[in-house]
Amino acid sequence: MTIQRLLAKMASFTLLCVLFTQAAFSQAKTVSGTVTDDKGVPLQGATVTVKGTKNGTSTSADGKFTISVPSNASTLVVSSVGFAPQEVAVANQTTFSISLVASQANLNEVVVVGYGTQRKRDVTGSISSVKGEDIQNLPVGNVASTLQGRAAGVDIVRNDGSPGSVPDIRIRGTGTINDASPLVVIDGVPAAAINDVNPNDIASIEILKDASASAIYGSRAANGVLLITTKKGNFGDPAKLSVGGYTGWNKAVKYLDMLKAPDLVALKKEAYTNDGLAVPGVWNNPYYATDRTDWQRALLGTGVVQNADVAVRGGNASSSYSFSGNYYNERGMIVNSFFKRYSFRINSEHKIGSRFRVGENIVYSNTNGSSPNTKSTQTGLVWSAIRFNPAIPVKNDDGSWGTSQADNQLGDINNPVATANEIQKYDKIDRILGNAFAELEVLKA
């Protein structure tokens, strides 16, 4: 009987262990899912944890994850750098599709500084940052115009409306009676021409305003620094082709109200009569009392802007690359005024082993343009159009240009339409800007 009781107790104990094991396994379940950003792009390396436990995992390259959830836990916490953390109730679900929203915590943003990059909250100097997505596809031909109203303490002053003209950039006012323009650094290389950069190629612009932020550039940074970082490919991303473009028109919407020819003649006669002087013969000639030309409308027509972009960006586990091309063509409202740009940019980076990487940034640009004088109060075309006699035709009956040389009373102003048509000065520039780098990580961070 003693042996039978012992066997019975052993059987009972074995059954109890089996039941306990089954209960323990029934208390946890495995769930899986996909983590994406708000545009549906899978997020690699996003952290998925079970709230209140130490269970955790990270997403794969396609954003997928699998994790075991105990029965006493009911919430998953999903987080990724640059995105707001999100809590998801498990309930009876076993499959999840989780979309993270980009974080608006600006103090944690990474900004480019002279020595590299820093978290915005750690920056002690005065820096403004403009993101590339904020200036995409703006109908402007240069980077300076995209900054208008987007950075505190930065004034963009456009004193010339000619195609291809670059506005003056003033950081915290004018610091010198000479050239007060800031230093422009593109992908680490000081550049002379901001017009060579396609605004749609820009990833970010950092504006260094004070001495502490721009100290490493020395006296060149006396008027501030514009640090421009262009777009690059990402390691592990498949190749992506992007194509964009736009076209538009420019036209004057308001003209100055000027005297008509009869009114001008009447005022001239009145002025001479009031002064007790004889009226010059030209003002008694009925030819000059006939209105023939509205010179503002004769000079200013319709301008056209065209822009096209194409880019291929991507990478694999050890390399990233970016190839982009841009065509920009602006025909001004004044005849013979234009600006045309072709640009090609190559960026690539390659990992050699776990500690060494090399790369390069190269851009080639070809620009061609013609900008008539529109600023001078003596010979500027716009000023001439305002002052030129409305009785004079653009062209005479014999095909020659209308002129004011018939009488000194008509002034020494040239026919602005004739001047614009006779311009044969073109500014053609080919420029290559580039750098190459190699980095060796001596100590692991």
Token pair in block for residue 359:
């790369």
The whole-number pLDDT of residue 19 equals 42
**pLDDT in the model for residue 358:** 94
Residue 391: helix, strand or coil by DSSP?
coil
Q: How many CA within 13 A on the CB side of residue 31?
A: 27
* Domain range 24-94, CATH architecture: Sandwich (2.60)
Q: What is the pLDDT of residue 93?
A: 86
Fold for the domain defined by 106-230: Ferric Hydroxamate Uptake Protein; Chain A, domain 1 (2.170.130)
Q: Is 368 helix (H, G, I), strand (E, B) or coil?
A: strand
CA dist 422 and 394 (Å) reads 14
Q: pLDDT value at position 169?
A: 84
The number of beta carbons lying within 10 Å of the beta carbon of residue 361 is: 22
Across the strands, what pairs with 331?
304, 338
Return per-residue pLDDT of the chain as tens, 445 residues.
454 554 445 445 444 444 444 444 446 788 899 999 888 888 888 899 998 887 888 898 889 999 988 878 889 999 887 788 899 988 888 899 999 987 655 445 665 555 555 555 445 457 777 888 888 777 777 888 888 888 788 888 877 778 878 888 888 877 777 778 888 888 888 876 777 788 888 888 888 887 766 777 788 778 888 888 888 888 888 899 999 899 999 899 899 999 999 999 999 999 999 999 999 989 999 999 999 999 999 999 999 999 999 999 999 988 999 999 999 999 999 988 999 999 999 999 999 988 899 999 999 999 998 888 887 777 789 899 998 999 999 999 999 999 988 788 887 888 999 999 887 778 888 988 888 989 998 876 5
Sign of CA dihedral 58, 60, 62, 66: negative
Contact present, 139 and 245 (Cβ < 8 Å): no
| Whole-number pLDDT of residue 4 | 53
Q: How far is CA 309 from CA 159, 304, 326, in A?
A: 28, 17, 5
* 143-175 b/e (C-beta count within 10 Å ≥ 16 → b): bbbbbbebbeebebeeebbbbbbbbebbbeeee
Distance between first and last Cα of the chain: 71
Cα separation, 376 vs 271, whole angstroms? 28
Which sequence spans correspond to the domains of the chain? Answer: 24-94, 106-230, 240-440
> Per the structure block, which two tokens stand in for 113?
């500084």
Q: Which three-class secondary structure state does DSSP give residue 194?
A: helix
Nearest Cα residue to 146 out of 161, 127, 131, 128: 131
